[in-house]
Amino acid sequence: MDMTKALQAVEIIKTRLPFLHQENKLQSYLATHKVEAKDQAPSERKIIRTGIAISLSRNLFDVEDPAGY
């Protein structure tokens, strides 16, 4: 799912269920993909994958960085 679509879905949920608290975290990790060419030996390619983690709760979050809260 696209990050903007995920955030839009969360905003819709928050309008239907009041008093929800939201926390957003951007995430990235290194992924390895195997690439197979017709005339060459298989090789590996490393790429950085990014995403977002969205948490909703009726209770306040205990956050270290209030900028993402």
Q: Report which of 17, 15, 16, 13 is spatially closest to residue 54, judged by C-alpha positions.
A: 13
Q: Report which of 10, 12, 2 is spatially closest to residue 57, judged by C-alpha positions.
A: 10
**Element of type H or E holding 24:** strand 21-35
Q: Report which of 33, 21, 20, 25 is spatially closest to residue 6, judged by C-alpha positions.
A: 25
pTM above 0.85, yes or no: no
Compute φ and ψ for 16, nearest 5 degrees: -90, -25
pLDDT digits 0-9 by tens, 38-64:
788 888 889 999 999 998 988 887 766
CA 45 to chain centre: 22
Task: Between 68 and 30, name the one with better pLDDT.
Answer: 30
